[in-house]
Amino acid sequence: MAQRAKSEVQLELKCSAQSFYEIFRSKQHLLPKVCPELIKDINVIKGDWESLGSIKQWAYNVPAGNCEAVEEALEAIDDENKRLTFKLLDGEITKYYKNVKSTIQVTGKDEGGSSVKWSLEYEKQNEDLPEPIKYLDLFPVLTKSVDAYLNKNA
């Protein structure tokens, strides 16, 4: 029986915590414009851009250059702590990992700027599978693109 695992990536931002959080909270439709080398398309297939239970379908490039798709549901919103949790419902990643959840939490810093922590919780479909590094590697690329966009368009 596969055990639940969790991997995290924490990154520093120049932009404010609130502006970064808002992109993922209610403005994900901007991501193909902000990060076209990574995010090819995002569509709402149930609900809207910001309500609990809403389902979106993403098309994105993984580091090997392949385009993959995933459907995600917005599972939890904590605006006070700038934390969102998404449950991955279907897609390439769910062929190898089950019960996958992605969490983003953005924290402001007293000296300016902010930091973001991305978490990926999952169970391997079988113990021989590697850690989902290629998916974790997407977070720094996405973070840098969004941070640069927000600093340029602030």
CATH number of domain containing 50: 3.30.530.20
pLDDT digits (tens, 9 = 90+) for 14-25: 999 999 999 999
Is 29 among the domain residues? yes
pLDDT digits (tens, 9 = 90+) for 86-130: 999 999 999 999 999 999 999 999 888 999 999 999 999 988 888
Place of tokens 């089950």: 98
Specify the number of domains making up the chain: 1
Is 117 among the domain residues? yes
Strands (E), the chain: 4-13, 39-46, 55-61, 67-78, 83-91, 97-108, 114-124
Please determine, for residue 145, whether its predicted confidence score (pLDDT) is greater than 60: yes
Q: What per-residue confidence (pLDDT) applies to 47?
A: 96
CA–CA separation, 130 vs 23, rounded Å? 31
Q: What is the chain's mean pLDDT, rounded?
A: 93
Is 110 among the domain residues? yes
Q: What per-residue confidence (pLDDT) applies to 153?
A: 86
- pTM of full prediction above 0.85: yes
Q: What per-residue confidence (pLDDT) applies to 83?
A: 98
Is 121 among the domain residues? yes
Domain that holds residue 118: 4-144
Place of tokens 């169970």: 123
Is 15 among the domain residues? yes
Please determine, for residue 43, whether its predicted confidence score (pLDDT) is greater than 70: yes
Is 149 among the domain residues? no
Please determine, for residue 140, whether its predicted confidence score (pLDDT) is greater than 80: yes
Place 64 in a pLDDT band, splitting at 50, 70 and 90: low
Is 150 among the domain residues? no
Please determine, for residue 1, whether its predicted confidence score (pLDDT) is greater than 60: no
Is 8 among the domain residues? yes
Q: What per-residue confidence (pLDDT) applies to 2?
A: 59
